[in-house]
Structure 1
């Protein structure tokens, strides 16, 4: 799995984990396809490293929620790793979607939770 998006890096890591690193400002992000493909792969979990993400809009939120639904349907965990930037954390809080996803403080925690 790979990406041509400079804000997104996708890699398979040891332990059957797909690590998707996002950074910068995700406004108008269409990452739904990448997250959905990760749910259908051979890995045992997908980790989204959100620690470098400074801003996300409703399109980014939609991509994450769509990816979560695809992962739930296949029984594969999707974990968002932080720490989250204040503006990103606020997006989840004000939209009431914080409880819809699994959040942990670091990629290391996400690999094993």
Structure 2
């Protein structure tokens, strides 16, 4: 990933959904704030669902996880499904497993399958 590339990109997806593509390393110093902002915008935007593409995340820490959990809460309050899509790296999957938060999210194997639920 070059310095010019965005770590978090928000796209409009078919059916009024929002796709948030996340790339690179996300931690308290980079990317987590952008993810939190994107999730808040998606929850406030009233879309049909939000899909977070995690296939490009190489590293994540507790700040990233906090952003996801806050996003989950916001989406739940707004009545909008939030789906995490992979394939996830072993590092990201392990973080969700170890913290006991994997079961708190709807998880799809791929971005395409996340839109078919």
Q: Secondary structure at the match of 2:15?
A: coil
Q: Residue 24 in 1 paired to residue 28 in 2? A: no
Structural RMSD (CA): 1.4
Secondary structure in structure 2 of the residue aligned to 1:40: helix
Residue matched to 1:80: 84
1:12 aligns with: 12
Gaps (5+ residues) in structure 2?
A: none
1:52 is the counterpart of 2:56: yes
Aligned equivalent of 2:72, options 45, 68, 73: 68
Moved more, 35-44 or 69-78: 35-44
Aligned-partner Cα distance in 2 for 1:79–1:5? 24
The Cα of 1:5 is off from its aligned counterpart by 7.3
Which runs of no fewer than 5 residues in structure 1 stay unpaired? none
Query: TM-score scaled by structure 2?
Result: 0.89
Runs of 4+ in 1 over 2 A off after TM superposition: none
Q: Which residue of 1 is the match for residue 93 of structure 2?
A: 89
Deviation at 1:14, TM superposition (A): 1.7
SS of equivalent to 1:11: strand
